[in-house]
Structure formats: C-alpha cells, structure tokens
A and B are shown apart, each in its own frame.
Chain A
Amino acid sequence: MDASLLIIIAVGLFVVYAVVQYNRLVRLNVQVDEAFAQIEVQLKRRADLIPNLVETVKGYASHEREALEKVVQARAASTTASTLPAIAAADGALTNALRGLLAVAEAYPDLKASSNFLQLQEELATTENKVSFSRQFYNETVRTLNTAVKTIPTSFFVGLAKVGAREFYEVDDPAARNAPNVKF
C-alpha cells in the first residue's frame, strides 16, 4: 500500500464521519421543530375547549366575572402570540387563569354536578397534561440538541450544519414544574 492510497482511505473515513455528525445535528434540530409543533397542537386543542368551559361556568356562576374575564383574555392573548417566549408566556398565563377559574368552580356544587362540566372535566385534565407533557418533551429535545451543539465532536460541525442552540420553553409558573399533574 502506498501513501496516496492511505490518504484516500483517511479522507474517505473522515467524510463518512463528518456526514454522520452533520446528520445527527440536523436530525436533533428537526426533532426540536417537531416537538414545538406538538406544543402548538396541544395549545390549540386547549384553546378550542375554553369557549365551551366558559359557557358552562357562566350558566351557574355568571357573577364570577373576574375569573371568567381572565380566562377569555388569556385565551385571546395565546392565539395571537407568535415568538417562542411570547407563546410560552401566554401559555403560562392561560394555565394560571384556568386554574383560577376551576378553583372558583369548586364553590358551586350545581356546576360541579352538571353533566356538561363532568364531561369537560376529563377533557380538561387530559388536555392540561398533554400541554405540560409536550412542553416537557420539547425541553428534553432542546436539552439533547444543546448538549450536542456544545460538546465535542458534534460542536465542530455546528457551522456546517447551520444548527445552533435553541431556546427552552419556560413557563412562568413554579408549580407547573414540580407538579405537572393538575387535578380538576
């Protein structure tokens, strides 16, 4: 074997290696996009549930104007948010507003016993879980991507793959981080 053959083999191996690293970064970046799309799907589901909930609560507790108003406003804000921090902030505000409304609902036994509310209860519980799990999964994918972007050897290929560290989805709600399972 002469030297030129060795060089060709070495270059070939390096190209294969670079392709693997490049693909890993691109794949992780796509996973973050997918995870973010999942959050948006779940937020949309929740936004679609709210008019029904608001109507149901109004029927029994119409004078709880403040709590109802907060939910309606938070929902409106969440549908117009477009950047990640804005979406996360609106999401957190809506979660808190919903929690406030449901706390108010506790005081109305008729409301809690109504068939409409009982139907909504499971829907709300699962939607709230889905929202919080999709946030958690998104942050997990960001964590994996950011680790790859900052650690050797993948960090050498960041420029080539045009992939950078991504933002975490942070909801301004200390309770949501420790206890993702909201009970309704």
Chain B
Amino acid sequence: MANFRALQAANKRKTFGLLFFMGLLVWLIAYVAISSFGGTGAGVIPLAVGISLISVWGSYYASDKLVLKMTRAKVIQESDNPKLFNLVNEVCIASGLPMPKVAIVDDPAPNAFATGRDPNHALIAFTTGLLDVMDRDELQGVVAHEMSHVANRDTLVSAIAATTAGIVALISDILMRMLWFGGSRNRDHNGNQMPIFLAIIPLILAPLAATLLKAAISRKREALADATAVSFTRNPAGLRAALEVLARDNTVVQARSSAVAHMYIESPLDASAASKLFATHPPIQERIETLRRMEANPSQ
C-alpha cells in the first residue's frame, strides 16, 4: 500500500470511521444524561450543543482572520516573495485549487500551516525560519502539504471534531457539577432511572475518549495531507527531505498554543509533553518512512 491513491483512500476511510465513533459517543452521553438525570439531563443537551456550535463554528467561519491574529502571521503580496508565490501557484495548477492568501510568520522555527473555511477563503502561512532553511523542492513539498489541507477541507473536519468533542465535554461537565452540588434532588424519583453512580463512569470516560478521537482524527488528516501532497507534486522525495529538516530542527514556534497546534505541518508543541495517543500529528519518523516507501514504489 505504498502509492498515494491507496493511502488517500485509506486515510479518508479511517476519518469517517473515527467521526462515526465520535457521533456514537455523543449519543452515548446523551443517553446517559436522559436516563439518569431525567428532564434536567434532557435540558442540558440542547444547551451543550448550542454553546459548542456557537463557539466552534464562529472560529471556523472566521478561521483565516482569527488565526492570523493568534499566530502573528502577516499576509504578503506577490512582490514580497515572488519565488514563494511561484511555488504556491505551481501547486494550485497541479491541484486545480484557487490561489490562497499567503502569509509569513516572523519566527526562526521552521513550520507552516493552512486554514480557512473553504478553498476560496484559504490561507497558508510559513515561518521565516522555514523559508530560510529549505530548498526549492523541499518548500514545494511543504506548500503541497498545506494545500492538501485546503483541498481535503481539514478546517471543516477539525471543526466537526471539535464541536462533537465540545458537546461531550460540556454535557459531562454540567452533569458532574449537578451530581456534586444537587444530586440529592434526584433521589426522590428513581423509578426507571439508571442509578446515579453508574452514570459517573461514562461521565468521566466520555470526554477523555472524545479528546483521544479528536487527536486520532487530526493524525489521520496529517497522513492524508502527506499522501495528497504527493498526488499533487508526484515527488515524495521533496516532502520527505522537508520533514527530515523539520525532524532535525529542535527550535519551537514562539507564538504557539494548543488551540492552533493541529494546524501546523509539524507539531509546534514539545513532543515529550504529549503522549502518542494525544498527539495531533503522527510521529515524524513514521511520516518520513511512508514517503520513502512511496519513493521506492511510484504509482505511475
């Protein structure tokens, strides 16, 4: 399974699988809420859905503008960096996507990210450190990886993941607080209700499972973006060399936060801080290996 078409198909399938489990998790927590908290539990659900939808979808819709502020990226014009614009334009031709906005983050750590709610509002950004250390082929690989996020609508996918994870977390949180402060009120009418102590286990585990699923989805989208990038450039060696540069480099982006970590080509957070299960990116060595297999086995 070393060609990009098979890898793209496999990663898309896995994303759907993970989103399906995410949906199941929402149903499970809603079931627990209604069956053990009755009417109050049922009332919590629309509240959680509402808050989560508003908070996530607002930032999804304005993602290109918000992210510019959070990462201190500056949008540039073609005259500022003609070579970078050439590279982006090349990948646009290869992918059939419209030209995105291009931004630069003044930061010595090499990294890049893509955002925007749809291909017409896409923004891709590169740190000055990345532009300094990479040659033309490596930069092309990075540009193709970022444009793949645009092509695969990854801002939308992560917004869906964040919304569902948010719903699960909010319901659990509100119900746990109710248990803590007002649990006694429910003891009067426990006719066909699930005992409260049985509800505590899913209330604790569900948000954790949602966080893990969200991270797993992010990892699959990164692997998918690598495969899609190769479908654009047909040059796995360029992206592989770029990832090797990133792997060797141990500086980290300054304006970092876990809120934007999933967007970067390489995780900007300290690798040792997060365990593999919570990581937003697959291990970089694993990505390099996959690209090496594609180099050895070109699909056409």
Identify the A interface with B (CB < 8 A).
31, 35, 38, 42, 122, 125-126, 129-130, 133-134, 136-137, 141, 177-181
B233 contacts chain A at the CB level, 8 A cutoff = yes
Query: Is B96 in contact with A35, judged by CB distance below 8 angstroms?
Result: yes
Q: B141 to nearest A CB, angstroms?
A: 10
Query: Is B93 in contact with A179, judged by CB distance below 8 angstroms?
Result: no
Query: Is A129 in contact with B90, judged by CB distance below 8 angstroms?
Result: yes
Tell me the interface secondary structure of chain B in the complex: helix
Query: Is B238 in contact with A181, judged by CB distance below 8 angstroms?
Result: yes
Query: B275 — which chain A residues lie within 8 A by C-beta?
Result: none
Residue-wise interface mask of B (73-110) relative to A, using a CB-CB cutoff of 8 A (1 in contact, 0 not): 00000000011001101110111100000000000000
Determine which of A31, A122, A133 lies in contact with B94 in the assembled complex, contact meaning CB atoms within 8 Å: A133
Query: B235 — which chain A residues lie within 8 A by C-beta?
Result: 179-181
Query: B183 — which chain A residues lie within 8 A by C-beta?
Result: none
Residue-wise interface mask of B (234-269) relative to A, using a CB-CB cutoff of 8 A (1 in contact, 0 not): 110010000000000000000000000000000000
The residue of chain A having its C-beta at the shortest distance from the C-beta of B87 within the complex is: A126
Query: Is A137 in contact with B233, judged by CB distance below 8 angstroms?
Result: no
Q: B91 to nearest A CB, angstroms?
A: 8
Q: A122-B82, A180-B233, A180-B234 are in contact. Are A137 and B90 (CB under 8 A)?
A: no
Query: Is B93 in contact with A130, judged by CB distance below 8 angstroms?
Result: yes
Top 8 A-B pairs, shortest CB-CB distance? A133-B94, A126-B86, A133-B93, A129-B90, A134-B93, A181-B235, A130-B93, A180-B234
Q: A122-B82, A126-B86 are in contact. Are A177 and B300 (CB under 8 A)?
A: yes
Query: Is A130 in contact with B136, judged by CB distance below 8 angstroms?
Result: no
12 A–B contacts, CB within 8 A, in A order? A35-B96, A126-B83, A126-B89, A126-B90, A133-B91, A134-B94, A136-B94, A179-B235, A180-B234, A180-B235, A181-B137, A181-B140
Determine which of B90, B234, B238, B300 lies in contact with A130 in the assembled complex, contact meaning CB atoms within 8 Å: B90
Query: Is A38 in contact with B82, judged by CB distance below 8 angstroms?
Result: no
CA distance A177 to B82 in the complex (A): 27
4 extra interface residue pairs, beta carbon distance < 8 Å, beyond A126-B87, A133-B233 = A126-B89, A126-B90, A136-B94, A181-B233
Q: B133 to nearest A CB, angstroms?
A: 18
Q: B146 to nearest A CB, angstroms?
A: 16
Query: Is B298 in contact with A178, judged by CB distance below 8 angstroms?
Result: yes
The residue of chain B having its C-beta at the shortest distance from the C-beta of A141 within the complex is: B96
CA distance A143 to B232 in the complex (A): 15
Query: Is B96 in contact with A137, judged by CB distance below 8 angstroms?
Result: yes
Determine which of A35, A38, A125, A136 lies in contact with B234 in the assembled complex, contact meaning CB atoms within 8 Å: A136
CA distance A137 to B234 in the complex (A): 11
Query: B93 — which chain A residues lie within 8 A by C-beta?
Result: 38, 42, 130, 133-134, 137
CA distance A125 to B87 in the complex (A): 10
**CB within 8 Å of A: which B60-82 residues:** 82
Query: B96 — which chain A residues lie within 8 A by C-beta?
Result: 31, 35, 137, 141
Query: A130 — which chain B residues lie within 8 A by C-beta?
Result: 89-90, 93
Q: A26 to nearest B CB, angstroms?
A: 17
CA distance A32 to B96 in the complex (A): 11
CA distance A137 to B93 in the complex (A): 7
CA distance A129 to B136 in the complex (A): 11
Query: B91 — which chain A residues lie within 8 A by C-beta?
Result: 133
Query: A125 — which chain B residues lie within 8 A by C-beta?
Result: 136
> Which one of A141, A179, A181 has the highest number of Cβ atoms from chain B below 10 Å of its Cβ?
A181
Query: Is A122 in contact with B86, judged by CB distance below 8 angstroms?
Result: yes
Query: A134 — which chain B residues lie within 8 A by C-beta?
Result: 93-94
